[in-house]
Amino acid sequence: MAVPTKNIPAPDLVPVRRALLSVFDKTGLVDFAKALAAAGVELVSTGGTAKAIAGAGLAVRDVSDLTGFPEIMDGRVKTLHPSVHGALLGIRDDAEHVKAMHDHHIEPIDLVVCNLYPFEEVRRSGAGYASIVENIDIGGPAMIRASAKNHAYVAIVTDPADYASLINALEMNLGSLSLDFRKMLAAKAFARTATYDAAISGWFAEALEIEHPTWRAFGGRLDQVMRYGENPHQGAGFYLSGDKRPGVATARQLQGKQLSYNNINDTDAAFELVGEFDPARSAAIAIIKHANPCGVAEGETLKAAYAKALACDPVSAFGGIVAMNRVLDAEAAEEIVKTFTEVLIAPEATDEAAAIVAAKKNLRLLVTGGLPDPRAAGTTVKSVAGGLLVQSRDNAVVDDLELKVVTKRAPTPAELADLKFAFRVAKHVKSNAIVYAKDGATVGIGAGQMSRVDSSRIAARKALDAAEAAGLAEPLTKGSVVASDAFFPFADGLLSAIEAGATAVIQPGGSMRDDDVIAAADKHGIAMVFTGVRHFRH
Residues identified as active-site: 149, 290
Q: CA end-to-end span of the chain, whole Å?
A: 46
Contacts of 401 (CB under 8 A, 6+ apart): 531, 532, 533
Q: Which helix (H) or strand (E) holds 185?
A: helix 179-207
- 496 φψ region: left (φ > 0), alpha (ψ -120 to 50), beta (else): alpha
HSE (side-chain half, CA atoms, 13 Å) at 485: 26
**Beta strand 13-15 pairing with 176-178:** antiparallel
User: Is there a contact between 78 and 47 (Cβ–Cβ < 8 Å)?
Assistant: yes
Return d(Cα 519, Cα 494) in angstroms, integer. 11
Whether cis (ω within 30° of 0) applies to the bond prior to 432 is yes
Return d(Cα 464, Cα 467) in angstroms, integer. 5
Beta bridge partners of 283: 299
Return d(Cα 274, Cα 380) in angstroms, integer. 19
Residue 315 CB neighbours (<10 A): 11
Helices (H), 104-149: 119-124, 129-134, 139-149
CA angle 365, 371, 374 (to 5 degrees): 135
